[in-house]
């Protein structure tokens, strides 16, 4: 008896959205894109024509906020009345469960808009007794469910029916997790670190700073692009946006694109036309990075490009989301599938034009 084994070798499907706009356009959504991508793991800046990161840009990286890891926190703590009043309603709070794999664990997040999101397995969902929806990625088998609790509702207070139902569900299931936390208070009366004092004494707490790394390239070939044209030039005067994005991904992964493609090692080289640049700097920061820090970095890079028109043809700012975050942009459900990718890149030109690339995997709603 013979057996035939069929293996699906097709690459996983991904989605890439590309748009062109100007920072000076009133309808530009560059800020909204940054603000709605809540949970960021890495920021990467690529500036050709520079041997070192500009001082003003480095200073902005250094100003990025610290974050905290609070261990073994029960979900009942997140609906504590004092916690909601002092932190959820008085600032921008970002909380993400740590070391929870979205495809096989229960995962949780608190958005700056005040929603508590739970991505839980079927058994947990049934035990919770709360109203939710099947995950969009397994509606037929219904293995995971998504529950949303609005912590900012006026009626979500102790003694009210909805609050007590949520509290009883959390107590019954005894759900808990380690959480990454970043909090930006409103005004100047409170310090961002005051959220740490709320948990200290009851839970193990760690303070972390963002980790930074710089790498440099010499004699690097750059694809020639035209700021107002996403498609390839008819006579090959410039490369397309997709060609440029593929090249950037290769360089970020440490793949040499200067040589002709080698059949047994790499079939990729820098697209034509291209130009040689003597020096290029690439700086990255990893940790738990709030969108506000990304907005500030974007503004500093824009200013640098305006003030240094003769040296840099463009700058690329890429932001990677957590692969196991319950959401990608806004409240769009996110899934891991093969890679869990959810990232975006701003290609910033000297004339204030930008290209925005938004990339997500199979288990995501297109942004």
- In this structure, of 56-70, 146-160, 206-220, 329-343, the range with the lowest mean pLDDT score is 329-343
Write down the mean pLDDT value for the chain: 89
- Quick: pLDDT tens for 138-192: 766 778 999 999 999 999 999 999 999 999 999 999 999 999 999 999 876 677 7
CB 227 within 8 A of CB 349: yes
Average pLDDT over residues 44-71: 94
Model confidence at 203, in pLDDT bands (50, 70, 90)? very high
Crossing angle (nearest 10°) for helices 291-307 and 55-62 = 170
Distant-in-sequence, close-in-space partners of 158: CB < 8 Å, separation ≥ 6: 81, 164, 167
| Residue 126 main-chain phi, psi, to 5 deg | -65, -35
DSSP structure string for 118-134: EEEEHHHHHHHT---EE
Sheet holding 40-48, edge to edge: 15-22, 353-360, 342-349, 314-321, 40-48, 274-289, 211-223
Torsion over CA: 356, 357, 360, 366 (sign) = positive
Give the global pTM. 0.91
pLDDT over 90 (residue 317): yes
Burial profile 215-239: b = 16 or more Cβ within 10 angstroms, e = fewer: eebeebbbbbbbbeeeebeeeeebb
Smallest CA-to-CA distance from 67 within 192, 172, 218 is with 192
Give me the residues paired with residue 148 across strands.
117
- Quick: pLDDT tens for 302-315: 999 988 765 789 99
Model confidence at 9, in pLDDT bands (50, 70, 90)? very low
Supply the pLDDT for residue 32: 95
Model confidence at 82, in pLDDT bands (50, 70, 90)? very high
Supply the pLDDT for residue 256: 75
pLDDT over 80 (residue 11): no
CB 65 within 8 A of CB 192: yes
pLDDT over 80 (residue 367): no
Model confidence at 335, in pLDDT bands (50, 70, 90)? confident
Supply the pLDDT for residue 254: 79
Q: Would you give the distance in Å from CA 42 to the centre of its chain?
A: 7
- Quick: pLDDT tens for 87-144: 999 999 999 999 999 888 999 999 999 999 999 999 999 999 999 999 888 766 778 9
Give me the residues paired with residue 69 across strands.
180, 206
pLDDT over 90 (residue 278): no
Average pLDDT over residues 72-96: 95
pLDDT over 50 (residue 85): yes
Model confidence at 299, in pLDDT bands (50, 70, 90)? very high
Supply the pLDDT for residue 363: 74
Supply the pLDDT for residue 260: 63
């Amino acid at each position: 008896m013979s057996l035939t084994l069929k293996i699906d070798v097709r690459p996983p499907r991904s989605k890439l959205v590309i748009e062109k706009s100007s920072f000076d356009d009133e309808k530009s959504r560059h800020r909204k894109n940054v603000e709605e991508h809540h949970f960021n793991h890495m920021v990467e800046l690529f500036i050709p024509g520079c041997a070192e990161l500009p001082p003003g840009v480095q200073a902005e990286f250094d100003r990025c906020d610290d974050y905290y890891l609070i261990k073994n926190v029960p979900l009942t703590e997140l609906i504590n009345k004092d916690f909601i009043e002092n932190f959820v309603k008085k600032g921008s709070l970002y909380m993400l469960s740590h070391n929870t794999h979205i495809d096989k664990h229960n995962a949780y997040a608190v958005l700056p808009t005040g929603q508590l999101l739970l991505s839980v397995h079927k058994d947990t969902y049934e035990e919770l007794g709360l109203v939710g929806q099947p995950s969009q990625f397994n509606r037929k088998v219904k293995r995971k469910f998504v529950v949303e609790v609005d912590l900012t509702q006026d009626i979500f207070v102790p003694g009210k029916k909805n609050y007590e139902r949520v509290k009883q569900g959390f107590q019954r299931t005894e759900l808990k997790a380690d959480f990454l936390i970043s909090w930006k208070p409103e005004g100047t009366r409170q310090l961002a670190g005051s959220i740490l004092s709320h948990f200290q004494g009851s839970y193990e707490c760690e303070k972390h700073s963002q980790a930074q790394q710089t790498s440099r390239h010499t004699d690097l070939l750059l694809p020639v692009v035209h700021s107002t044209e996403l498609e390839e030039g008819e006579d090959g005067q410039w490369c397309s946006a997709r060609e440029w994005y593929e090249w950037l991904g290769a360089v970020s992964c440490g793949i040499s694109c200067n040589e002709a493609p080698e059949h047994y090692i790499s079939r990729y080289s820098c697209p034509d036309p291209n130009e040689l640049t003597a020096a290029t700097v690439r700086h990255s920061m990893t940790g738990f990075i709030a969108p506000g820090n990304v907005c500030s970095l974007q503004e500093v890079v824009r200013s640098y490009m305006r003030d240094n028109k003769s040296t840099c043809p463009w700058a690329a700012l890429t932001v990677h989301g957590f692969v196991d975050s319950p959401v990608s942009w806004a409240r769009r459900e996110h899934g891991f599938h093969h890679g869990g990718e959810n990232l975006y890149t701003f290609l910033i030109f000297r004339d204030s034009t930008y290209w925005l690339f938004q990339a997500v995997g199979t288990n995501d709603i297109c942004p």
